[in-house]
Amino acid sequence: MDRKKAIALSFSVPVAWGFSYPLMKIGMDSMNATSIVALRCIIAFVVCLLLFHKHALRINRDLMVRAAIIGAIMATELTCMCLGSSLTSASTAGFLQSLTVVIVPFANAALLRRAPERKVLVGTAIVTCGMLLLSGADFTSLNPGAIIMLLSAFIYASHIIVAKRFVEEVDPLALGVWQLGFGGLFSGIAACVFGGFTLPSTPSEIVVVVALALICSAYG
């Protein structure tokens, strides 16, 4: 894949993810967060496995260990997103989650033990202001949902950093498929242990789960 296609795909993923915040708020009306994440990941995993089986079925220990690690991180991140989105406005949730783009360069600099470049500092300041203006997020009063979404942003940043390292070591497409499988497995276990596994009970909830799975997870 050439650089232009990679950039185009990278740009389209946040667009797909943007739909997830209002969708999760609807789903949380009667389903618990871990059940939504489990169904979202399992459906996405099955679809991706069918589409990319030639890559995904070339499994080995290194691939599965790495997929399990980032699958666990992803499941935790998505669960926080569900909980946070249900407790605060979609605009505030979207802004706080988007802070990942600010956190990643600073976290990366800390890991490399070197200060961020000046252009990174200026760029992140401009991007943060732009995202705040575009989202219309309201911080007149902090609530538990905002705090959970901020936590989700940090977890997502760690997911990006770890995944960046892993895709250089194993087949990135297979890794992406299997992380969905492990994410669904871990979320399903958590749902059974903590709150009981719940299924969508209305047509709108079914649409929400399928949209989250196909648009926000499988495509993403």
Cα–Cα distance, 104 to 123 (Å, whole number): 13
Domain assignment present for residue 1? The answer is: no
Q: How many Å apart are CA 169 and CA 171, to the nearest integer?
A: 7
Identify the pLDDT of residue 150. Answer: 81
pLDDT digits (tens, 9 = 90+) for 46-76: 999 999 888 888 889 999 999 999 999 999 9
Contacts of 22 (CB under 8 A, 6+ apart): 90
Domain extent for 116: 14-219
Number of domains within the chain: 1
Mean pLDDT of 131-135: 60
What is the per-residue pLDDT for 50?
92
* 188 in a structural domain: yes
pLDDT digits (tens, 9 = 90+) for 73-87: 999 988 988 888 777
